Amino acid sequence: MPLIGLDVGTAYCKAYGDTGRVIFPSMVLMRRKTVWNRIKRRPLTLVGEAAEKAIAEKGKLLRPVREGRVVHEDTYQTVVLEALYRLGLPPEQTRAVVGTLCRPTEEEMGRLEKILKERVKLGDVQVYPASMGALLAMGLDSGVVVDIGEGTTGYLAVEDREVVDFATTAVAADSVLDALHDLVLTDLEADLKKEEIRMLVTGAKKTISRYTATLGVKTVTGEKIKEMAKQEAVFFAEELTEWMRTYLASAPTAALENPILTGGGSLIYREALTSLIPEVSFIVPTDVIYANAEGLFKLAKETFAAPSSAPAPNFPSKTVETE
């Protein structure tokens, strides 16, 4: 049976499988039904990059995960099935290790497993802290992982693959993006959507233009937005540093030997954190975007190699609808 390591984040879905790896926006756009959709047979449901490109169209834009938690089950199912489709993996025959936030509740864990087993219909599934993947991707069994995502930053202390401490905070990449939304409106006089700002920061778009009554057509460049993001990150990095120090002070010795900084949000915060917390020499995965999914795939190969699936750690076909 094929295997997959899956990390569905607030901004992007990352999947690592037997047939390769994929990344795409964790985004679904439900287009409004119009006469032109009917005539041109345009799909009403767009996923990933297709949804991103059509972001200016009328409709409902949905992200399945917010601050590490599944907030829309149908959309989560759609995104996971899209990942399987892109990798050419049939759900019923696929066994998966799926990542979640470092600090889920029992109810959230049960809900996530139910979606994956009953709705996605995966052949078998285990749920682990997504940040565990970064540790395993680097060939380590003990370490402290600071995983800065879009919606949350996770802290995970692991000793011999046992989770010994964990925490989450809402200070993450979205904190900077939210601040940029207001700054772009006041300083640059351009009313951009948060998703458009995200695309400029990540490089998905190089420029975005808006009409303004005073300036005419105003063009905002990715270069300018990245510069602003770097400046805003310093403010939030100070808060993040104090939060990290609280947990690092009680981390076990073995874990402290390998402090890891990972996650897509670390690209925004790395420079500021390095200067604010110089006493910690963070090591960084080769690919901070894919590290979690890569490690979860590695764990899937180990977990499902045994005759029976090992228990998860104890820690608190594609369809297109047309009109």
- 94 and 217 belong to one structural domain: no
Burial class (CB in 10 A: 0-12, 13-18, 19+), 78: buried
| pLDDT (0 to 100) of residue 319 | 39
CA–CA separation, 275 vs 272, rounded Å? 5
- 114 and 43 belong to one structural domain: yes
Phi, psi of 35 (to 5 degrees): -65, -35
| pLDDT (0 to 100) of residue 126 | 95
- Residue 107 in any domain: the answer is yes
| pLDDT (0 to 100) of residue 37 | 64
Strands (DSSP E) found in 9-142: 12-17, 20-25, 28-31, 45-47, 59-62, 65-66, 69-70, 95-100, 124-129
- Residue 156 in any domain: the answer is no
Q: 76 — alpha (psi -120 to 50), left (phi > 0) or beta?
A: alpha
- 128 and 21 belong to one structural domain: yes
Q: Residue 76: CA atoms inside 13 Å, Cβ hemisphere, count?
A: 27
Q: Give the count of domains, the chain.
A: 2
pLDDT averaged over consecutive 10-residue blocks of the chain (323 residues)?
94 93 94 69 86 84 90 95 96 96 87 95 95 96 95 94 93 92 86 87 87 82 90 93 94 93 92 93 94 97 70 44 39
CA–CA separation, 300 vs 3, rounded Å? 6
Q: How many CB atoms lie within 10 A of CB 90?
A: 14
CATH code of 89's domain: 3.30.420.40
Domain stops at, among 182, 212, 231: 231
- 306 and 204 belong to one structural domain: no
- Residue 239 in any domain: the answer is no
> Which amino acid does the sequence have at 196?
E
- Range of 181's domain? 174-231
Local structure of 58: helix, strand or coil: coil
Question: Who's near 29: CB < 8 A, 6+ residues apart?
Answer: 45, 46, 50, 51, 54, 55, 57, 59, 60, 61, 62
